[in-house]
Structure 1
Amino acid sequence: MLVLCGAWLLGAVLWLHTPNQQEHKPPLPGPGQTPGPKVQTSANDTAASFRTETCSLIPEAWRFDCYPERGVVVTRELCEARNCCFIPASTAFSSASRPSGKNGIPWCFYPSEFPSYSLVSLNDTLLGQKATLMKEVKTYYPGDILTIEVEMRYETDKRLLNHKFFSIKITDPSSSRFEVPISVPTVTNKTESPDYIIELSKQPFGLVVKRRSTGAVLLNTTVAPLFYADQFLQFSTSLPTQFIYGLGEHRSTFLHDVHWNTLTMWARDVPPTEQTNLYGAHPFYLAMEDGGNAHGFFLLNSNAMDVALQPTPALTWRTIGGILDFYIFLGPDPGSVVQQYVDVVGYPAMPVYWALGYHLCRWGYYTSNSTWEVVKSMRNYGIPQDVQWNDIDYMDKFMDFTYESKKFDTLPELVRDLHAHNQRYVMILDPGISSTQPEGSYWPFDEGVKRGSPGSAVWNPVDSVWPGLTAYPDFSDEVTHEWWYDNLQMFHDKVAFDGLWIDMNEPSNFLDGSTSGCPTNNLENPPYTPGVLGGLLRAKTLCATAQQKQSIHYNMHSLYGLMEAKASARPFVISRSTFPSQGMYSGHWLGDNRSQWKDLYTSIAGMLTFNLLGIPLVGADVCGFSEETQEELCVRWTQLGAFYPFTRNHNAISMKPQDPTAFSPLARTAMKEALLLRYSLFPVLYTLFHHAHVHGHTVARPIMFEFPKDVKAYGIDKQFMWGKSLLVTPVLDPGVVYVDGYFPEGLWYDYYTGDCVTSKGEELQLNAPLDKINLHLREGSIIPTQAPNLTLWVSTGQPLHLVSALSQDGSASGDLFWDDGETIDTYETNQYAYIIFSIAQVLTFIYFVEYSNLPCVLSNHIEASYITVESASFYGVTEKPSRVLVNSQDAPFTYRNNQVRF
């Protein structure tokens, strides 16, 4: 999407303001020491002492960067001025010169005796312990704080069994520093039998956390110095593994590269690009340990930051504001780690049923009638579609809460027609509000000024697409929430939209800062700037010093998308910019991707990462957003997109249409079949979202989540699973009619034929003609399906068909969550049905199928009374059964091709 501009916050307007720095102090980094032999130093040590053999004894993999600033050629003089070791690395892959922000072995690194904090007091608290740390010598970053406090909270969440975690908060007791304004659970119980052991190092201070059962070291901050300065906080830890996941949002493989790889977090409008900070900021990682255990780490901090990975393996956090508030999740399996993480940041919302259908959009429909024609064409070809979208074309002069009176004059009628066909309508809203219309002619701006603080707004120029200047609402202010809701309600009275697409909310700007520039101070130009695209905090966004209700933009920038999503009404919101807890308010699409095969592949990693981050309603633009798609690519992408939790086809202006009706009959049919397959599996997908909402599960998940002891699965991101039962193996390369897929140990059944694959944990070649995406059902699973139709409203009224993949002992099980699909919080109000399916072989050739409500769950919703099982398929039957019983009643059946149907 295009970039909006501006620097105005409604309510508490983003007025340009240069605050007192003491009043708005940013966060600082943390703990440290380095491994390797000790370097004997004294107060009279000179720079020459760091050129001795002792520095060279520190292995390259254990060298923690003492000069991480980009764009600086690091010389011996600069390095030794920081009292650090300077040794050119033994390989060309180094970081001595970083004009392009390249990563590599640091030539300038900390000696083991670099000054750090010492533990001077330690006291017990109700939830753990509180320590005071002090140091005597200030380091090279200004505003170094000599006394800090560490609060260790050994918590257990009693609401969920085994969801154990603990947290550590490092603060400056002498001043009030910015803290991220999201609610985290208040836990009042201190665990009596923790799954971890904590060891404290007194001088220098360090924290070591070990898993009690295995001795694995999950955290070790003694490997490098702890920094806690006014605008520079840093701490490092060793890692027990090289298998690190999460740390969004970045375009990369699902498994991160720990070979001198720095990931920057600072929300930014930029098409998905490697080694670049993208739309969201998620400082959380999941690590797989030896033996299949997993743990997680979350730093609750919204300031610009770098996360540096190195092959020790080790990780360094560098952030430029706030406090150090971090959580460690003990798992022990990867699914439990995610559950524990969302228990802190918030469980994802249950989506309305039609959100899981097929969505169609493009930038460049130009008129409401041309939009309508595509909808009619989809119906005529019998291609499923639940939701039609419009990009900015529909707006009058690109102004929010308006529609163009000539080109989009039939928009209200289009929406009524969609509703008459059980379809829905979603339109885009960008946060920029036009400020150039005559007074009294544009209510959203005029009313925003009226409700906000008049006088000193800063207006930014725009691209030629926008005729005028724009302003940004301040979503950190509740007054803005009320203003936003009123605008939505007034527009809904004209066009009865069903959901919102909130875009450009990094927030994005067409220039750096504002038309009047930004102040020259250490907030706009901090002593250390993480590797943000453009090199400046204000690059293509607002001045860092712009004032919001809750703080300055320096602290709030990466929270903007979250705050806008929170202000936007459910039931359906899709946001581009995200932050931890976003899943409570919106889903996410992976941004302005390209119509390239590589983007098809990397979309899987993006989808899996956001499920790990507690935002399961996620998908990429099917067929790609920018550039011209090709027919084969679009077919394969539609097949993969049919298994995104959120699936939308969307492309850019001036590109050829890429909806399914735009292609040849062969391609159109293949796309239609893929979407019909998705619609038939809706009961499975809806149930998975229920478990995400209630239990914090992932919807689309990596294979390793189900097979955590299978190391071969740790790097797989060309396949994925829906829940624990369905394995998806898409084609990701052009011109092939086969695909290689990995099958963990066990029995796997071809979803379409019931043919069995017995695997010992191996890669197999699968036939994959253009009209097929490979789908396999795991042994021991029962999944409910329905006959698909043009909309989910029709499909969900069909009887269930159960597909059972028998384990070797002839058993299988599955479940179904069912409600009316639209009422918010049906689980919380007990207006739902939850059904368990189970199958067991009695004697040798009699099969018994049972489906019933769990006795502990209510079935109050009227929809549950319509649930019937009309037919079933059994995979894994080798001989003809003598009987098939469904809820104790005999059922007729036929036997054919390893299947039984009745």
Structure 2
Amino acid sequence: MKSYQKLTTDSTQVPEAGEDNVDGRPLCHQKLSAWWLGGGLLMVAALLSGVTVWVLGQIWWSQHGTPPLAKCVSIPEDLRFDCYPERNTVVTQELCEARGCCFVDSEQSSGSTNGVPWCFYPPDFPSYTLGSVNETELGLVGFLTRKAKAYYPKDIEKLQLSVEFETDTRLHVKITDATSPRNEVPLEVPPVTKKAETPYIPLSSPRRTVLLNTTMAPLFFADQFLQISTLLPSSYLYGLGEHRSNFLHSLEWNTLTFWARDVPPTESFNLYGVHPFYLVMEKTGAAHGVFLLNSNAMEVALQPAPALTWRTIGGVLDFYIFLGPDPNLVVQQYQQVIGFPAMPPYWGLGFHLCRWGYGSSNETWETVKAMRNFQIPQDAQWNDIDYMEGYRDFTVDSQKFGALPQMVEDLHKHGQYYVMILDPGISSTQPPGSYWPYDEGLKRGVFINNTQGEPLIGKVWPGLTAYPDFSNPDTHQWWLENLNRFHSIVPFDGIWIDMNEPSDFMDGSSEGCSQGKLDNPPYGLNPCSTRESIGTSAHYNLHNLYGLMEAKATASALIKLREKRPFIISRSTFPSQGKYSGHWLGDNRSSWKDMAWSIPGMLSFSLFGIPLVGADICGFSGSTSEELCTRWMQLGAFYPFSRNHNTQDEKAQDPPAFSPAARTTMKEALEIRYSLLPYLYSLFHRAHLQGDTVARPLFFEFPKDVATYSIDKQFLWGRGLLVTPVLDPGVDWVVGYFPRGLWYDYYTGSLVNSSGENLKMAAPLDHINLHIREGTILPTQKPGCCTVISRGNPMRLIAALSQNANAWGDLYWDDGESLDAFAKGDYSYLVFNVTQNTFTSAVLHSNVEATHVTVDVLTVYGVGEEPKIVTVNGKEWPFSYLTNQVLTVSDLQLSLSQGFSIQWK
């Protein structure tokens, strides 16, 4: 441990961000360096070295008092870490220096004042000192002691630092109170029993990067204020949701708040969910990720150093660091901690239609019939809160929606499904004995209580409401019984859980906000939080978990009710939500800007392990135009979760509401989606099995191409299908970036041989540009009116050859709804290959479902010369060949459950 001792006693050895060595040796030869996690001890130096610098700083400033102006001015502006981040406070020199910090106003700075803090920490601001360190089975444990009192109340003097090397690619670092327990998120992380090995990295390794460097600002750990800062190895930062922003975050003095909130998607606001996870692309093309497991209100301050500061008002500092080095692997490693997403039912990937304002079950039913009449694919019909009696959960308006049970029965007869909305607020104003959900909930004590131990009363759609406490197991049983009672009347198939931040139209409750410490933290991040759970943890700690806890209770109930895979879409989300639900991006607007914002939103949730995600197609609020809705239906056909939804008192925006030309274009877009559902379903299987992304940013596949790092107007499905939508009005063309390689037009097979460039493409109103990446085989299927029909139709396999004439693809197939189909072996899995002018289908696992499906057509893009002969399983077969190098073999009628070979010479 000699190098460990040196790193924690000599502050001159601490590397700057991006520096290549610590004690004279290359980083790739140091177990205790800060740049690589694979060996376990490698991250410790960054944290412990930082602590040592703070200790030396404490000694210096305790002797010298207020830092001199000259030394303060010498700190570069982008390295000034805010010492007075309190909002709505005018920071004066007196306030700043009372904290022992530097104060440099705009007249003393270089003139760049946009966001640069005037009050910032001097180089050696006092913090904690490291005490004894002992090895444990998985790593190290040590203690940190504060020598000087900090300026936040109830400063915790002694902390415990634990470092566990859980896998070769994951480090777990936790800092908490050494003497008293604090709130921790009850995340079910799979146990680790074997200590990770510590491999050395070859000298040829290009990854010489400091992943974290906490030496630039002090650590704070008070009862209601925790703060830690780090330099970042590059400015390519992603994640940190839920916020409306570009996929690539701006580090120009940008602060992001994390507190689940009911607010229409708006720039610079915290939105419905909380995901304190980020991914960084390093300068070498490698990637790493960091996850702070904390459910309290927090914020992340970004600055152009590049650097990041975490601030939270409770809990502990519980970090997981993921090495990658590929960005796909970072997301997989993150999901190994939070859990892989659930496998959705096949019908859940079809097209969904909804609006708030149908007015009646008959009007809803007529919309479904119009979709059928025009043969537009649709799998699910939804209703918003207007189906309820007085907006009360588990009720039906018998006058306007009296035919709802018959409508649902009709949907089922046509192979379609019904999804209803539920809000968590339970009406509390009904006469006793008249509303079972509230009466029974009151009797069982399942509601969130106020500080006096009585049900807290807020206000949502029904009016005055009580809120179920989903952290209480008794609430899950009560929730199940309510769903069961309603299901016996309206046999719904899926549930849409809304308003579950939880939303409250009042400030706190009907009694207002209390003056307790939880409603008035020293660092004013937290909105009024007088709700108290019936357990031991306050709403102060659980607020951000509410949507997750409701989704978990709802998924459990649906499984018991239907004994099939649950389908749930939730507004509020938290890490591990993908195990229970998907997500829609909230109450957007019918505008071109909102359509464009949906792509970075979708890609962010791909990082968060919630692949079943999409935005309200054509926009929720406001009235859409025919052009906008047409373009949005084309884009929305490639959301993993595809739903058209709008609000009341606006004109209808379902496809039958538009002109024949627009309606036809929308139908064609949905038919493309339904054709590609076998491919999409296989992507979801990989997401469920190992945490792959479904909708994927380009840089995940091209991490060495820096030009892809900021792209959020295009995206991939998996590795092989590039989507380039039109996002602007009045144009019949679009510019898209094509990374280096061969790309084939999805429709025609025409070739784009790109050197890595932007290309202008024709995009008339009836066309969305799709391109298949070289080396990809797509399983497609003849579309039907719904997935029940399309799943039985013949398949067409499209092979897009690489420059060396190879291609690969796969197909996962099961019955589309059974629980644990993969675990039980009730599935088929096929691998497709092209090599040496031969296409092969190998069945690696088979079940009876696959015997009902045939492969009818094989299309091969990029066949350089016209074949003289084509054979199918050794038998000569007719074919067609086009001058754009497209080979088509038809009328195959090959069983999907049996391997086959097609050769051309």
Q: Secondary structure at the match of 1:444?
A: helix
Alignment pair present for 1:487 and 2:498: no
Give how far 1:865 is off: 1.8
Give how far 1:196 is off: 8.4
Give 2:417's match in structure 1, choosing from 416, 424, 427.
424
- The corresponding residue for 2:70 is 53
Distance 1:885 1:326, change over 3 A: farther
Give how far 1:55 is off: 1.0
The one-letter amino acid of 1:720's match is: F
Alignment pair present for 1:377 and 2:377: no
Alignment pair present for 1:124 and 2:135: yes
Q: Secondary structure at the match of 1:69?
A: coil
- The corresponding residue for 1:193 is 198
Distance 1:439 1:75 in 2: 57
The one-letter amino acid of 2:198's match is: S
Distance 1:244 1:889 in 2: 55
- The corresponding residue for 1:559 is 545
Distance 1:550 1:617, change over 3 A: farther
- The corresponding residue for 2:224 is 231
RMSD: 2.0
Contact 1:476 1:550 in 2 (8 A): no
Distance 2:458 2:541 in 1: 24
Q: Secondary structure at the match of 2:674?
A: helix
Give how far 1:124 is off: 0.4
Give 2:710's match in structure 1, choosing from 703, 715, 718.
715
Distance 1:599 1:74, change over 3 A: same
**After superposition, where does 1:377-776 map in structure 2 within 5 Å?**
377-452=370-445, 456-460=453-457, 462=459, 466=462, 468-530=463-525, 536-538=526-528, 543-544=529-530, 546-569=532-555, 570=558, 571-776=566-771
Distance 1:777 1:134, change over 3 A: same
- The corresponding residue for 1:893 is 879
Distance 1:352 1:52, change over 3 A: same
- Post-superposition Cα deviations, 1:786-812, rounded to whole Å, max 9, x if no partner, equal 110110110110121011111122211
Distance 2:321 2:467 in 1: 36
Contact 1:195 1:213 in 2 (8 A): no
Distance 1:213 1:712 in 2: 20
Alignment pair present for 1:849 and 2:857: no
Distance 1:480 1:646, change over 3 A: same
Contact 1:130 1:149 in 2 (8 A): yes
Alignment pair present for 1:84 and 2:71: no
Give how far 1:549 is off: 2.2
**After superposition, where does 1:210-221 map in structure 2 within 5 Å?**
214-221=207-214
Distance 2:519 2:871 in 1: 72
Distance 1:195 1:256 in 2: 33
The one-letter amino acid of 2:62's match is: A
Contact 2:261 2:501 in 1 (8 A): yes
- Post-superposition Cα deviations, 1:337-378, rounded to whole Å, max 9, x if no partner, equal 000000000000000000000000000001000000000001
- The corresponding residue for 1:263 is 256
Instruction: List structure 1 runs of 4+ shifted beyond 6 angstroms.
Output: 29-35, 37-40
Give how far 1:896 is off: 1.6
Alignment pair present for 1:71 and 2:82: no
Contact 1:34 1:224 in 2 (8 A): no
- The corresponding residue for 1:170 is 175
Contact 1:848 1:884 in 2 (8 A): no
Give how far 1:245 is off: 0.3
Distance 1:638 1:798 in 2: 24
Q: Secondary structure at the match of 2:211?
A: strand
Q: Which structure features the higher share of helix residues? A: 2
- Post-superposition Cα deviations, 1:446-476, rounded to whole Å, max 9, x if no partner, equal 111111179942453537x63x421000000
Distance 1:311 1:544 in 2: 37
Distance 1:85 1:126 in 2: 43
Contact 2:446 2:474 in 1 (8 A): no
- The corresponding residue for 2:159 is 148
Distance 1:93 1:514, change over 3 A: farther
Distance 2:51 2:544 in 1: 27
Out of 558-567 and 784-793, give the one that drifted further.
784-793
Give how far 1:867 is off: 3.2
Q: Secondary structure at the match of 1:222?
A: coil
- The corresponding residue for 1:279 is 272
Give how far 1:593 is off: 0.4
Distance 2:692 2:112 in 1: 40
Distance 1:687 1:870, change over 3 A: same
Give 1:347's match in structure 2, choosing from 324, 340, 343.
340
Give how far 1:307 is off: 0.4
- The percentage of aligned residue pairs carrying the same residue is 60
- The corresponding residue for 2:296 is 303
Contact 1:587 1:617 in 2 (8 A): yes
Q: Secondary structure at the match of 1:692?
A: helix
Give how far 1:214 is off: 2.1
The TM-score normalised by the length of structure 1 is 0.89
The one-letter amino acid of 1:753's match is: T
Contact 1:283 1:299 in 2 (8 A): yes
- More relative contact order, 1 or 2 (CA 8 Å, 6+ apart): 1
Distance 1:42 1:900, change over 3 A: closer
The one-letter amino acid of 2:341's match is: P
- The corresponding residue for 1:43 is 62
Give how far 1:177 is off: 0.4
Distance 1:195 1:674, change over 3 A: farther
Give how far 1:34 is off: 8.6
Give how far 1:154 is off: 0.8
Distance 1:888 1:174 in 2: 75
* Equivalent residue pairs, number: 825
Q: Secondary structure at the match of 1:734?
A: coil
Give how far 1:51 is off: 4.2
- The corresponding residue for 2:235 is 242
Give how far 1:899 is off: 1.0
Q: Secondary structure at the match of 2:418?
A: strand
Distance 2:798 2:833 in 1: 11
Distance 1:884 1:642, change over 3 A: same
Distance 1:776 1:799, change over 3 A: same
**After superposition, where does 1:783-798 map in structure 2 within 5 Å?**
783-798=778-793
Distance 2:768 2:657 in 1: 21
The one-letter amino acid of 1:664's match is: S
Give how far 1:653 is off: 1.0
The one-letter amino acid of 1:225's match is: P
The one-letter amino acid of 1:900's match is: L
- The corresponding residue for 2:34 is none
Contact 1:39 1:55 in 2 (8 A): no
Distance 1:109 1:888, change over 3 A: farther
Distance 2:252 2:485 in 1: 53
Alignment pair present for 1:314 and 2:312: no
Distance 1:348 1:265 in 2: 22
